[in-house]
Every structure is written in structure tokens, then in C-alpha cells.
Amino acid sequence: MIVAHELVKEFRIPERRPGLAGSLATLFTRRYRVTRAVDRVSFEIPAGSRTAYIGANGAGKSTTIKMLTGIMTPTSGYCRVRGIEPYRHRQRNARSIGVVFGQRSQLWWDLSVPDSFRILRRIYDIPDHVYRRNLARYRELLDIDALGTTPVRQLSLGQRMRAEIAASLLHDPAVVFWDEPTIGLDMVLKEAVRELVNRAHRELGTTVVLTSHDIADIAAICDSALVVDRGRVVHQGSIQDLLRSADRRSVLFDHRDRLAADAVCATVERGLPGVRAVPADGGRVHVDYPAAEFTSRQVLAFLLDHFDLADCYAPEPDLEDVLRQIYGRQRPAAPSGVSAV
Amino acid sequence: MRAYVPFATGGLQSLLQYRSMFVVTGVTAAAGAAVTVFLWRAVYADAPASGGPGGFTLAGITTYLLLAQILQVLHTNRVDDEVAAEVYRGDVAVMLVRPVSYPLVRFFACLPVVAANAVLVGVPVLLLFAFLVPLAVPRPGDAALFAVSAVLSVLIAFCVNLLTGMAGFLTTNTWGVRMVKQSVVAFFAGQLVPIALMPGPLAALARALPFRGMADGPLTLLLGRYDGAAGAFGVLAQQAGWAAGLAAVCAVLWRRALGRLEVLGG
């Protein structure tokens, strides 16, 4: 469905030299620094999956999306979306994809949202029944009518983002690329967006590729994750697998013993070496243990033995923490070089 | 092509939100025309009825300079500003995710700008000056030739502005590039000094360049300053040739620029 093979994208960034003499020198000789934004990335995203494309800042997420949408041409390697190389057949590719760039509006700045939609309908030649069905859906889930005839430039970020998301799905694309789509959306709308994409996925088998810094978005919308660090894929699989790779897990508990919180924590840390226990809100205790050394069962057994437990639960590991670990694990020097042109 | 029509109608809708802009453009154009028209009218004040320098009569030179100014308003299609800004800011990325050709989108989007400038600025300025100063009345045939030629001039202006806007790929100082373009076009189109009045070699150069087709070409036809049907055809053919040539250059350069497009961030 979506394939990337040894995908590389390098940017040439003019180097500015310090001081006035440096500025004058750049008038005559220009030096460029070559930055590799995407470093030999290979992956495959199956049709009908909802994949989160995850990476730290500068991991090449947006750049990869721009190659998959045909905006930029790779420096080397190739990528294919539904069998075609997007940058070679940009317009053909564009017919079957929907895109949201959270940072840039794709709507008509001076027109209202309904007017923008009418233009999109003509551009993509959207059949009547599809257009009506989708509009009805946006009314129901995104309350799109509330945006009225206000020009897009006067909408709030949240309102605009609702319209952007709707616009990206209007022509029933086979693949949607959402680059940071939910900036400015509140919880209720995030829920609605999730429902919207789930319906498209269920009825049309739409493939979703999402990049986001918001872990809640990823968890809500995606079923699999592609983690890229410094241009390299470091994890590909389901979100569950990703969470399971956490090297520290937690247990929270509440007890009826008349003990000071510090004493409870000290008892836990003494009994289970390598474990960290800290008082949490509401008199609870947060126990953080290395997954390699203990099972949750061992930790629970210890707690049951030593305390009169009132409540106890083991939350899913935090995706953010998992990612931080993955990034922390490998820190090679950034590949870059200087060339004079 | 049907997919491009909404870019024209949408452009018109956007444009109508900025009505005061036409007033500003109109005042600027009228002031610009006043400067050149009254300056040159002083020069031609004592010209004989048979024609002064360059063979212009007083009414002839007035018409030439006034219409050159109005043609310039038609050529202010905002393509240079918008393309430069979109390329520089990276917003061109958004246009590229649509199944349409960007240069064609820009062309269709500029049509309402040209039409609105013609109707809301061109016509009022023309009427204002017709009221103030005597103008040459063209023969009907020449007026028709002028109309065809004016359309070709709009095409040339589109290509020149698109190329100017594409400078955004090379430099961040697109304002400077646009200023240079504006001066070069104003001079070589004959808008400030009619080409017929330029010294020989300079006039020859100006006649060979595409900018001639933006003002001097159409005005040569309007004022009947051509040599029979062949002369008129020559002017139109030169314009059409430049329009086609520049369009081809635009297409090639655009394609090459896209291959090297670097949109950083966002």
C-alpha cells in the first residue's frame, strides 16, 4: 500500500557566517550545510491500517509526509503510494489522498467553509451522493454548520482545524495523511474526529497515516505505530507491542494502614530493590518498577503481604515515557556535512 | 480544465471582500497617468497637427500614455506577489496536494483580478481622463485589433509575473526582484517613454523584448501606427510568439523547480 525504500531527503541550508565581514563574504561565496532530514528510511504500511508515524522533533516526519504526498522529491531511494511514486505522478496521486497540514491551511483564506467545500467538490469531481453523505456526517459529528459563512481567516484554530479535517475526507480518499491534525481541538472534538475516521475506515477501508505529538490522538485514532528516530525506523508494530516494550511499569495503590506515606514508600523500596515508590495524589502510593526484574504479580504479592490494600491498579505504561526511552536508547551523532558550492 | 473554473470564481469571491483596494489602485493609477500625461502634454504643447516627435499628435501621445497606464493596471494580476509569498513561506505545499497544476491554478485565479481591475479601475480612470483631456478616437478596426492585442498582453504579463514569483525559489528578497521587474517592464513596455521616442539601438532592443507586447504593441495597433495588414499581423504574431515562448519557459522552469523544492518545517 505505502512503501518506502531507503528513502533519503537532504536539504541544503545556506550557512551564515558571523559578523559583518562574514555577511559580506556570503555575498561572494556561499557555503551550504547539508542536513539529512530523512536517513534511509524503509517501511511498509498495509492498506486499511491506521498508523501513527511517530518521531521526536526533526525526525523527518513532515518531510516523509511531503514525499508521500508528492510535494517533495527524495534525494535518493523511493516511496510508493498505491503503487505510484507520488512525486513523479503528483496529480494522479493527489486524487486518491487527503491531507491535513496542521501548520498550514488548505482552505480558501477569504472564503467561508461551505464555499471552500464547493470548490473542492468541483476540483475532485465528487459525486453528489458522496458529497451529500459526507456533509451530513460533518454536520452530525463536527457541527460544521456552526462555522456559518465566516471567512476562514476569521475562524478560531479549533474551528479551522475541524474544517481542515473535513476537507481532507470530503472526496473519500483511499489514504489520508494527517500531519499534526488535532492542534487546537478540545476533547469532545477529538472524540468526534476519531469517530469520523473510524467510520471512513470501516466503510471505505481508508488508510490513515498520522503524525502527532499528542499521545492521546495517537492512542485514540491509530492501531499501529511506526517510530522513527533520526530518520531510522526503531519500532514498527501495534501500539500494544510498543507499550509492552516499556522497561518500567507502574502500580498505584491505596491502603488502610495508619502509616506515614514516607514509611510506606521506604518499606516498598526496601522489600523490592530497584523499585521506586513515591506518594501520589489522594494518599495513594505510586510504585515504579523495572519490567525486566519484576512481574506485576510479584509486586502485587508484596503489596498484599505488607499492607491492608483498599484499592490497587496497574495503568498502561505511558506512551510518552515509552517513546522517551526509545529515543534515549540510541543517540548517534546527527549525520551532516559541509560542502562549498 | 473544468477543475480550474472554481479557482476563478473563488478568486472573484475573495476579491469582492476587498473593495476598498480598487479605490486605492484607481487613485494610484490615475495619479501615475496624470504625471506622465501632463508631462508629455507639455512637451507636445506646440507640436504641429501633422504630428510632433515620433509622429505623435497631442491627442495621440495622451492616449498612448493613458492607455499604457491602464494596461499596466490590467497586468497587475498579483501573480508575482502571491507565487513569491507562497514559495517563500512554503504554502505552495498545500496547493501541491491537489490534483491540479499550480501554474494553471494561478492563471485561472488571476482572471477575476484582471477583469475586476479592468472594470473597476480601468474604465473609471479612462472616463476621468476622457473628461479632462482630448483623446484620439481609434478607427473601429484598430479598436478591435487593440482588444485582441490587449488579451495577448495579459497573457504575457501573466508569464512575466509567474517567472518573477518563481524567484522565490532562489531568493528570499522577492520584493527587490519584483521592484526590478516593475521598472524593467515599465521602461521597455514604453509606459514611461513611448518606444518610438527612444534612441535607435535602444528602441530596437525594446521592440525585440517581450515587454513591448505589454503596452507599446497594443497601442501601436490602437493608434493605427502600423504598416498595413502585414504590420498589424506582425505585432500580434510577435505577441503571440512571446506569450507561447514564455509559457513554455514557465512550464519547464516550474517543473525543474518542483524537483528541487525544499519545504522546511511544518
- Are A116 and A230 within one domain? yes
Judged by average pLDDT, the poorest of A23-37, A172-186, A296-310 is A23-37
- Are A238 and A251 within one domain? no
- Are A151 and A283 within one domain? no
pLDDT at B144: 95
Alpha-carbon distances, residue B28 vs A171, B23, B70 (angstroms): 44, 9, 11
Residues A127-164 as b or e (16 or more Cβ within 10 Å = b): eeeebeebbebbeebbebeebeeebbeebeeebbbbbb
Nearest-Cα distance to chain A for B262, in Å, is: 7
What's the CA gap between B197 and B101, in Å, rounded?
Answer: 42
Residue A198, domain member (yes or no): yes
CATH of the domain at A270: 3.30.70.100
Nearest-10 crossing angle of helices B19-43, B102-117: 70
| Residues of chain A above pLDDT 70, percent | 93
The dihedral formed by the CA atoms of A188, A191, A193 and A194, expressed in degrees to the nearest 10: 180
- Are A272 and A180 within one domain? no
- Are A81 and A208 within one domain? yes
| Residues of chain B above pLDDT 90, percent | 65
What's the CA gap between A101 and B251, in Å, rounded?
Answer: 27
Nearest-Cα distance to chain B for A330, in Å, is: 24
Which residues in chain B touch residue A95, judged by CB atoms under 8 angstroms apart? 99
Q: Is the pLDDT of residue A335 over 60?
A: no
**Confidence band of A326 (pLDDT split at 50, 70, 90):** confident
- Are A127 and A168 within one domain? yes
pLDDT at B147: 95
Contact B6 A90 (CB under 8 A): no
Rounded to two decimals, the pTM is 0.83
**Confidence band of B151 (pLDDT split at 50, 70, 90):** very high
Mean pLDDT of B217-232: 92
Q: Is the pLDDT of residue A3 over 70?
A: yes
Which residues in chain A touch residue B255, judged by CB atoms under 8 angstroms apart? none
Which residues in chain A touch residue B101, judged by CB atoms under 8 angstroms apart? 91
CA closest to B100 among chain A residues: A91
Which residues in chain B touch residue A108, judged by CB atoms under 8 angstroms apart? 10, 14
Domain boundary among the residues A196, A226, A243 is at A243
Residue A89, domain member (yes or no): yes
Structural domain count, chain A: 2
Cell 478616437 appears where? Answer: B137
Alpha-carbon distances, residue A194 vs A217, A218, B144, B149 (angstroms): 8, 10, 60, 56
Q: Is the pLDDT of residue A6 over 70?
A: yes
- Are A253 and A139 within one domain? no
Q: What is the ipTM of this complex?
A: 0.82
Alpha carbon of residue A179 to chain centroid: 7
- Are A62 and A210 within one domain? yes
Contact B6 A124 (CB under 8 A): no
Contact A94 B266 (CB under 8 A): no
Contact A73 B261 (CB under 8 A): yes
Mean pLDDT of A191-200: 86
3-state secondary structure of A340: strand
* Helix H or strand E encompassing B4: none
Contact A104 B93 (CB under 8 A): yes
- What does the block give as the cell for B255? 517543473
Domain boundary among the residues A185, A210, A243 is at A243
Q: Which of A119, A120, A169, A176 has the most B C-beta neighbours within 10 Å, making it the best mutation to test the interface with B?
A: A119
Domain of residue A45, residue span: 2-7+38-243
Q: Is the pLDDT of residue A316 over 80?
A: no
Residue A300, domain member (yes or no): yes
Question: Average pLDDT of chain A?
Answer: 84
Sequence-distant (≥ 6) Cβ neighbours of residue B184 within 8 angstroms: B211
pLDDT at A62: 85
Residue A339, domain member (yes or no): no
Question: Average pLDDT of chain B?
Answer: 91
What's the CA gap between A200 and A141, in Å, rounded?
Answer: 13
pLDDT at A183: 64
Residue A307, domain member (yes or no): yes
pLDDT at B123: 94
What's the CA gap between B112 and B114, in Å, rounded?
Answer: 5
How many Cβ atoms sit within 10 Å of the Cβ of residue A332? 9
pLDDT at A59: 67
Which residues in chain A touch residue B85, judged by CB atoms under 8 angstroms apart? none
Domain boundary among the residues A219, A243, A267 is at A243
Residue A169, domain member (yes or no): yes
pLDDT at B47: 81
Sheet holding A285-290, edge to edge: A276-279, A285-290, A248-255, A309-313
Mean pLDDT of A310-335: 71
How many Cβ atoms sit within 10 Å of the Cβ of residue A214? 16
In tens, the pLDDT along A222-272 reads 888 888 776 677 888 888 888 888 888 888 888 888 888 888 888 888 888
Nearest-Cα distance to chain A for B165, in Å, is: 18
Chain A residues in contact with chain B using a Cβ-Cβ cutoff of 8 Å: 11-12, 62, 66, 69-73, 87, 90-92, 94-95, 97, 99, 101-106, 108-111, 115-116, 118-119, 122-125, 151, 179
Q: Is the pLDDT of residue A337 over 60?
A: no
Q: Which of B96, B104, B172, B254 has the most A C-beta neighbours within 10 Å, making it the best mutation to test the interface with A?
A: B96
- Are A253 and A133 within one domain? no
- Are A169 and A49 within one domain? yes
Which residues in chain B touch residue A167, judged by CB atoms under 8 angstroms apart? none
- Are A222 and A107 within one domain? yes
Nearest-Cα distance to chain B for A11, in Å, is: 7
Residue A150, domain member (yes or no): yes
What's the CA gap between B127 and B135, in Å, rounded?
Answer: 11
pLDDT at A257: 83
CA closest to B101 among chain A residues: A91
Mean pLDDT of A113-138: 93
In tens, the pLDDT along B117-143 reads 999 999 999 999 999 998 989 999 999
**Confidence band of B168 (pLDDT split at 50, 70, 90):** confident
- Are A188 and A310 within one domain? no
Contact A73 B7 (CB under 8 A): no
Residue A334, domain member (yes or no): no
Judged by average pLDDT, the poorest of A15-24, A291-300, A328-337 is A328-337
Contact B10 A70 (CB under 8 A): no
CATH of the domain at A187: 3.40.50.300
pLDDT at A332: 46
In tens, the pLDDT along B56-108 reads 989 999 999 999 999 999 999 889 999 998 888 888 888 899 999 999 999 99
Using CB atoms, pick whichever of A71, A115, A116 lies closest to residue B97. A71
pLDDT at B90: 83
CB of B55 within 8 Å of any CB in chain A? no
Which residues in chain B touch residue A12, judged by CB atoms under 8 angstroms apart? 262
